[in-house]
Structure 1
Amino acid sequence: MEVLERLLNVTLVVATLRTTAPILLVALGGSFTTKAGIFNIGLEGQMLVGAFFAVIGTIASGSPWIGVLCGILAALTLALIFALMVVTFKANEVVVGLALNILAGGLTISLMKAIFGTRGSIFGHGLVGLPALKLPNVKDLGWFGQMISGYTPLVYLAFILVPVLILFYNRSRLGLYIRVVGEKPEAAEALGISIVRIRYVSSLLCGLLAGLAGAHLSLGYTTMFTENMSSGRGFMAVAILIFSNGDPLKILFGCLLFGFSDALSLRLQTLGISSYLVLAVPYLVALIALFALSYRSRPRVIQETLASMGRALSVKSNTIQPTAATDASKP
């Protein structure tokens, strides 16, 4: 009981919300490209350059908000390159996404060594993190007040964007255009909607939120930059997008699952459990969840396959019967 009390408390909930925010931002960004019919595996690279250039901008200017802007611009640049290659030149989106991820990893390491003469991590140098917002009159709310106060603005923005994007996709003209382009591109062309323009806009909106996610990692979640700081969060966002089909509410639940397992792994370190096992916890939970989702969908797929086989056999028997009757009538 004492171990459970140390693990399952308000602090764990707070840590879950903190760790959920960056993957939620990048996954919501990926919903734009998913809804527009683009499989964007380059989220990891966009997030990484956003984190790196947010730190560079903050050190150069002394303002974390200018750093956030620099991170957004860097991620938008990578998103524009992705859109140019995939939408305009019709390149394979998986190959382009992986290439940009590799480019982002090599670029950040090279620039870190060129600018700071070091590898591994960047901290100090006048680096300032994003401020934490203390909501007024929350002390009277007890544990609930602890849950909702003390986060950086980007954490609040991540969760606010969920209902905003639900309304955006269902009520706004641009949101409906994005859905039509992704689901029925022929219908979009018939309505005079520019598929190229909509997919460019979707890619840039994705880059915007991926840059915010990266900036939150280096200026809000921590106040430093380390090599490969995104640590697979972009790939985890891609996995969540596959099974949520870009639906913001499903994205939220998937990201909360990953955020909870990540926060739980951090708490397990205090119990003396092997760090290698602890670091694997978020990914093990994600794999189990993905397996459960695929297992649930398997019976439906089998039923559809059997039904189609039955229809095919029925059609085949109908075509064989007249031939057999004709053969029987021959002397």
Structure 2
Amino acid sequence: MIDMLLSQVLDLMTPVLLAAMAGALCERAGVFNIALEGKMLVGAFVTVAASTALGSPVLAVLAAVVCTAIFALPLALGGARFGGDPIVIGIGLNLLASGLTTYLLSALFGVTGTLVDPAVTALPRFGLEALGDVPVLGAIVSGHNALVYLSWLLVVAINIYLFRTRWGLRLRGIGEVPSAAAAMGANVSRYQTAVVVLAGGLCGLAGAVLALGSVALFAENMTAGRGWIAVVAVMLGRAHPFGIALACFGFGLADAVGLRLQGQGLPNQITDIAPYAITLLAMIGLGLRGATKKMRHV
């Protein structure tokens, strides 16, 4: 029972984890990215739309990455290069994504609410033969789609990049003291622009997992606040990849437990709020911790 629950947690946390990694890179570069929700939604829509046209989940995922990176350009250029307020731009992108995907769903496919097409297939799942016979662990880590495994690798890779390479050190310097980084010869706006665009691509992966992970469809506003949960995960993990992964695991666990309780007869209205209740409590905890630190310094 526990192995099945944890396996479900890994699936449920993956979209949030990928989006949170995007948010962490932006945070380290000094750009507060609250457009994760909208970018995930665009990624999910493009994945399903491309899958209907191309018939290949792999090409659909690549299309989502490219289109979501392009969708991130207003934040990359407006916030990083031209000095606009990233919060205002991020809110605008979230609103644009919600309206644009709803409009395109009706304009391109003639449907409202949910798009289901026989040409859209879920991402294939893979078994890890080397771990398949290991008790409990084999059942937990085996049988997921490729993007789940990729998310684990990205956590490690981003951690190495940020804290073990000179490029990561330069990026953190840009985020912490941009004037000093500029004085050392770093092109601050170029770094920030590149990171925001890259983060857009990661959100495309998050949307692809959401649309083709366990299901093969697109529904209006199907992100359902997961992008905001990713923003909270960045705060809880202090923009550290391993800390963020732990926070995302907690949110995934709350989601999985909620689904299990729903299967036991608990009303879905109650179980659906579980991850968001955890998010709210986490935000309250962050606020209390910040207030306590301020009182200690007084």
Task: Tell me the TM-score normalised to structure 2 length.
Answer: 0.96
Identity %: 37
TM-aligned CA deviation for residue 78 of structure 1: 1.3
Question: C-alpha deviations, 1:169-202, integer Å up to 9, x for none?
Answer: 0122321221010001111011100001100111
Q: How many residue pairs are counted as aligned between the two chains? A: 298
2:74 aligned partner, one-letter code: I
Report whether the alignment pairs 1:177 with 2:167. no
2:80 aligned partner, one-letter code: V
Distance (whole Å) between structure 2 residues aligned to residue 144 and residue 49 of structure 1: 34
Distance (whole Å) between structure 2 residues aligned to residue 99 and residue 171 of structure 1: 35
Distance (whole Å) between structure 2 residues aligned to residue 28 and residue 269 of structure 1: 30
State the structure with more CA Rg.
1
After superposition, residues 25-104 of structure 1 pair within 5 angstroms as 25-104=18-97
Contact residue 178 and residue 202 of structure 1 kept, 8 A: no
Distance (whole Å) between structure 2 residues aligned to residue 102 and residue 228 of structure 1: 11
Report whether the alignment pairs 1:252 with 2:266. no
1:129 aligned partner, one-letter code: A
Distance (whole Å) between structure 1 residues aligned to residue 186 and residue 9 of structure 2: 41
Match of 1:192 in 2: 185
Distance (whole Å) between structure 1 residues aligned to residue 225 and residue 154 of structure 2: 22
Task: Tell me the TM-score normalised to structure 1 length.
Answer: 0.87
Match of 2:133 in 1: 140
Distance (whole Å) between structure 1 residues aligned to residue 130 and residue 176 of structure 2: 47
Distance (whole Å) between structure 1 residues aligned to residue 168 and residue 246 of structure 2: 21
TM-aligned CA deviation for residue 275 of structure 1: 1.3
TM-aligned CA deviation for residue 137 of structure 1: 4.8
2:184 aligned partner, one-letter code: L
Match of 1:111 in 2: 104
TM-aligned CA deviation for residue 299 of structure 1: 2.4
Distance (whole Å) between structure 1 residues aligned to residue 204 and residue 8 of structure 2: 22
4+ long deviations beyond 6 Å: none
Cα pair distance change 1:296/1:92, threshold 3 Å:
closer
Match of 1:10 in 2: 3
Distance (whole Å) between structure 1 residues aligned to residue 153 and residue 170 of structure 2: 23
Q: Which residue of the other structure, out of 253, 256, 274, is the alignment partner of 1:263?
A: 256
Cα pair distance change 1:303/1:62, threshold 3 Å:
same
Unaligned runs of 5+ in 2: none
Match of 2:202 in 1: 209
Question: C-alpha deviations, 1:35-78, integer Å up to 9, x for none?
Answer: 01111111111111011001111111111010001111121011
Contact residue 132 and residue 142 of structure 2 kept, 8 A: no
Report whether the alignment pairs 1:295 with 2:288. yes
Greater CA deviation, 44-53 or 89-98? Answer: 89-98
TM-aligned CA deviation for residue 159 of structure 1: 1.3
Greater CA deviation, 169-178 or 225-234? Answer: 169-178
Match of 1:228 in 2: 221
Name the SS for the 2:25 alignment partner.
helix
Unaligned runs of 5+ in 1: 1-7, 306-331
1:34 aligned partner, one-letter code: E
Q: Which residue of the other structure, out of 130, 144, 156, is the alignment partner of 1:151?
A: 144
Report whether the alignment pairs 1:126 with 2:126. no
Q: Which residue of the other structure, out of 161, 168, 183, is the alignment partner of 1:168?
A: 161
